[in-house]
Amino acid sequence: MTNSRPEDVEPIPLVIVQGFLGTGSWLWGNFEQYLNHGRSSSPRRTIFVSVGPVSSLHDRACELYYDLVGGTVDYGEEHSATHNHARYGRTITLGQYPEWSPGLPLHFLGHSIGGPTIIKLQDLIKQGHFGASAHPKMIFSVNAVSAPFRGTQAVYVLGERADSAPAVHPLSFGALVGKGVHILSFISPLLPRALDLHADCRSLTYRDISFSSLLKQLWKSDWAESRDATPFDVTFQAADERESNAEGDVDPETFYQSHAVRMTRPQHLEKVEAHIPSMRHVTSPLMYILSRRLGAFDYSTLQPPPSFFRPHNSEESSMGEEYWANDGVVPLFSQWHPLPCRRTRCRHVGTVVAKSTDKDDRFHEGAPRPGIWYVNQEDATHMSIIPLWTGTSQQQQFWMKLGHWLRAIERDRGF
């Protein structure tokens, strides 16, 4: 492969896409010294992008693209009309990586909803949403940690209605978050950038709407209770819709890896499949409680039923413990990759599942290859690998291994 990167230029930068409610880099700590472990010179640049912390995957992907290249954020005419917001968002005078091109690609790392955001970005590029100059090869690698590629039952536990999403239960945690989002949007011109909700296209500030309009939104939100926000996009229904459109198909020239983590162990009760969090994680009480709820979730309550659901008393049941094992926010199976294993190319290594749907014998030579999901599994919580930096050996090892992986796949392609 040929490329236009001069030999004396820094390594391919790593773009970090944060998850739900994630803003700024203050939680991430001093990870870069471990990412660049073993490099004698030219450390790898990391780029934290600014995208809507509660926005839909589509809107976040558009904001991600323009945050890198610059220009006026274009959400697309059809999407904007469907979801009743302005087509154009803010104008970014100078992007963080305006030279982005097939010859000067980027690595991407997504935590939680940041993972599906990167997949949505690649899908929009394939569709031509950003014009002819954008090409899937611009994404050199996709790296994800605790990503809800196929949805999560946490959204229902926190308030999304299992029978009529995107509606939410009144006074639930999800409903309260939605109200908080509207209040912050209303006073956003007075707030620091750390609280930027990227709601420009929705005209929700006190400069745009009256106080009575705010009250109406607090009663029933046109945004939080819509199909164009994070809560709906992490439902199993939304994930099924994306999969039906082949969103998440691997690109043959992109490298993929995911880090699927769990904080639970199986608890087999009579006629009930359940997972409970390990006592070593009781120091994170909120995560511990949520993990218990996810580990005992009744998938039969979902309407419409998710594509993977089969009752346990059915001879056709294919649901293993990975549907209840979780990291406190996302079930294990959803963290693996988009699409079920039978519809993609993947290689899993771990205690819950160890399998491969890649039939090429060269895989066993150990060299990473593009177009295949490499799935790594380990014991951790949703926040303990990234982004909450505490300097543990597990975190240090994660960043060092990621740095090694990025260098290995660059050598494979001559970068």
pLDDT in tens, 84-117: 999 999 999 999 999 999 999 999 999 999 999 9
Cα separation, 399 vs 223, whole angstroms: 36
CA–CA distances in Å: residue 307 to residues 241, 310, 317, 340, 343: 10, 9, 12, 10, 13
pLDDT per residue over 286-345, tens digit each?
Answer: 888 999 999 999 999 999 999 988 765 555 556 888 999 999 999 999 999 999 999 999
All residues at 6 or more sequence positions from 217 whose CB lies less than 8 Å from its CB, including other chains: 182, 204, 223
Q: What tokens does 252 get? A: 């043959």
* Closest by CA position to 158, among listed 21, 17, 313: 21
Helical pair 57-69 and 114-127, crossing angle rounded to 10 deg:
80
Choose among 191, 272, 13, 17: nearest CA to 120. 17
Residue 337 · residue 198 · CB < 8 Å: no
* Per-residue model confidence as pLDDT tens digits over 101-157: 999 999 999 999 999 999 999 999 999 999 989 999 999 999 999 999 999 999 999
Alpha helical stretches, state H, 84-127: 114-127
Domain 14-153+231-262+331-412, architecture per CATH: 3-Layer(aba) Sandwich (3.40)
Tokens standing for residue 409: 């796949």
Q: Are strands 139-145 and 255-262 parallel, antiparallel or unpaired?
A: parallel
- Residue range(s) of every CATH 3.40.50.1820 domain in the chain: 14-153+231-262+331-412
Q: What is the pLDDT of residue 354?
A: 46
Is the previous residue joined to 252 through a cis bond, with omega within 30 degrees of 0? no
Between CA 216 and CA 172 the distance in angstroms is 18
Tens of pLDDT, residue by residue over 62-71, are 999 999 999 9
pLDDT of residue 4: 47
Written as one letter, the residue type at 264 is T
